[in-house]
Amino acid sequence: MKIKDVILQNNLEFSGGGTDKNSTHCYVDYFYEEAFEPYRDKKVSVLEIGISGGYSLRLWREYFKNAKTIVGIDNRPEVVEQVNRSIPGVEYHFGDAYTQEMVDKLPKFDIIIDDGNHWTDHQIKAMELYLPLLKKGGLYVIEDIQHGWPLEGHIKDPYGMLKSALPEEYTYVFHDLRDVSGRFDDSMMAIRHVE
């Protein structure tokens, strides 16, 4: 089953309060369908940093049917929708994701998705903390890389900064989807731990 089918069958469309991964962002069509297909039926461990309403965790639980564990981290428990507060097979950690204390509570993962604070310096900090938890052959995704955000002090070259912070044992590809969606932040980085 495709991710888009899971979204439709489980009423996870963003317009209904669900995930933005296939609506305001076009990550499902242009990245996740192909990238996650090899993992779909395996006993994977998945981590998402930044869960907001919790709909992405529901999506991953429904898509990765054989997942060993699905974990979400957020510092705002109050924003998780009631319907997503106790999804069977999903583990929640509430607190500051950008601390070693949080990382020390976690196992290794096959897939890590950074959908937390979208500032480049926080994405770099998350890489420093969470890449050591990525299993060999695993996939680490940084969503919502921001380009041209009209705030003073915004980083002009987020790709360059993220690339320079990446250790040598990892490979990466940027997926710039801004022309597809028309959003300044519809951009992602896919990092793989070289086996």
Spatial contact of 159 and 175, defined as CB atoms under 8 Å apart: no
What is the Cα–Cα distance from 165 to 152, expressed in whole angstroms?
Answer: 23
Report, as residue numbers or ranges, the catalytic residues.
Answer: 118
Q: Which two tokens stand for residue 36?
A: 């996650």
Task: Count CB atoms within 10 A of the CB of residue 148.
Answer: 11
The CA-atom distances, in angstroms, between 8 and each of 14, 55, 134, 182 are 10, 12, 30, 23
DSSP 8-state secondary structure symbol assigned to residue 29: I
Spatial contact of 48 and 73, defined as CB atoms under 8 Å apart: yes
CB proximity list for 97: less than 8 A, separation 6 or greater = 49, 50, 73, 74, 75, 116, 126, 129
